[in-house]
Amino acid sequence: MMSRFSLWCRGAGWLAALVLSGCGENFSSSSPIFFEFKQQPGDKYVYKIADEVQWAIVDSAGKVFDTHHVQEQKSVMKFLSIDSLAVRAIDLSFIITYDSILSTTDTVRLKKRKSRVGQKSDLHLRMNPNGRIVAVTSTNPKLTFFYETGYRPSQPAFPEHAIARGYSWTQNFIVNVPGGEPGKVAAEYQFTDFERIGEFDCAVIAFKSELHYVEAYKPKEACVGIADCIGQYDSRTTSVGKLYFAYREGMVVKKENLITTISTMAVKSGDKSAKLSDSEFRDQEKITLVAIYRNSGEKTTFEIE
C-alpha cells in the first residue's frame, strides 16, 4: 500500500498535513489535492494547546456540582525515524503551563485540588504517511486511552488519492477500554474550504466523531457491604471541529475542537442497579503552531491566532 507514495514528496504533520499531488505548487481552488505528511527525522514541532473546560455533575440526590476552568499546555512532536514502509516513529509530549479554576460549586474538591502546572505526559506514536495511527503506546494505559478518545478521532486518515474541495469520507476504528469492552469510533471528515491563517494558505477539514463505551470499575464507597457489586461507567463522547493545513509546507497550523462527554455512573448487584450521578464535560480546545526546529538546527517561530 505504501508504494504509492514517493519518498521525496512524503512528509508528516501532528494531526495531518497535505501537499499537492506530484508536489506541484500551482493549482486552482477546484484542483484535487493529495494529503500527505511531510516532517522528517530530527524535526520538532511545537504547539500550544488552550482548553476551556466546563464540567457539571448531578448526584443521585439531584445536587449539582459544576466547575469552569482553563488550562494551557505545550506539546512537542519529535519525529524520530521513517522505516522502509514509510511509517514514522514519533515521540509526543505534553506539559501543562497554566492551570486555573474560574469558578466552582464543588468546594470540597476545590480544597483538595492541586495545581497541575508542570505535569508532563509522554506518548509514542507510529503513523502512516496518510495520517493513519498504526500504534499508540505509553507507560500509562489511562494516558493511551485519553489520546485514543480525545485526540485520535480528530485526526483523519486521508484517502490514498487526491481530493477536491467538497469531498467527504468516513473512518472507523476500535479503542481498547480499560475495564470494558472495546469501543468503536465513527468519524466523518470533509474538505470544506481554503483559508489564509497567518502566513499560510490552508485547506480546511471539518470533522465530527462519536464514541460510546461502557466501563466497569470498583466504587470506593457505593459497594461497601453489597455482594457482587460493581460500578458501571456509561460514556458517550463527541468531537466537532476543524483542522487547518498549510498544504504547500505540509503541516498542521491550527485545530479547533469541541469535545463533549455525557456519562452516567451507576452500581449494579445482580439484576438491581442504582444511579450514582450524571455528568457533562465540555472541552473547547484550540491548538496552534508555535515553532519548528529542523534537524539542520534551523528554528522558525510563529504567531497564529
Residue in 190, 195, 272, 165 with CA at minimum distance from that of residue 229: 272
Query: Using CA atoms, how far apart are residues 164 and 48, in angstroms rounded to an integer?
Result: 30
Q: Per-residue pLDDT for 16 more than 70? A: no
Q: Per-residue pLDDT for 232 more than 70? A: yes
> Of the given ranges (70-74, 135-139, 141-145, 263-267), which has the lowest mean pLDDT?
141-145
Query: Taking the complete model, does pTM exceed 0.85, yes or no?
Result: no
Query: Using CA atoms, how far apart are residues 298 and 13, in angstroms rounded to an integer?
Result: 18
Q: Per-residue pLDDT for 86 more than 50? A: yes
Q: How many residues does the chain have?
A: 305
Average pLDDT score over residue span 158-173:
93
Higher pLDDT, residue 109 or 137: 137
Average pLDDT score over residue span 192-221:
90
Give pLDDT tens digits for 24-52. 344 456 789 998 888 889 999 999 999 99
Predicted local distance difference test score (pLDDT) of residue 22: 33
Q: Select the highest-mean-pLDDT range: 147-151, 160-164, 177-181.
A: 160-164
Predicted local distance difference test score (pLDDT) of residue 56: 95
Average pLDDT score over residue span 261-266:
94
Predicted local distance difference test score (pLDDT) of residue 2: 35
At residue 143, the 3 state secondary structure works out as: helix
Predicted local distance difference test score (pLDDT) of residue 29: 62
**How many beta carbons lie within 10 A of that of residue 218, not counting itself?**
10
Q: Per-residue pLDDT for 253 more than 90? A: yes
Predicted local distance difference test score (pLDDT) of residue 157: 85
Predicted local distance difference test score (pLDDT) of residue 146: 85
Residue in 131, 114, 121 with CA at minimum distance from that of residue 13: 131
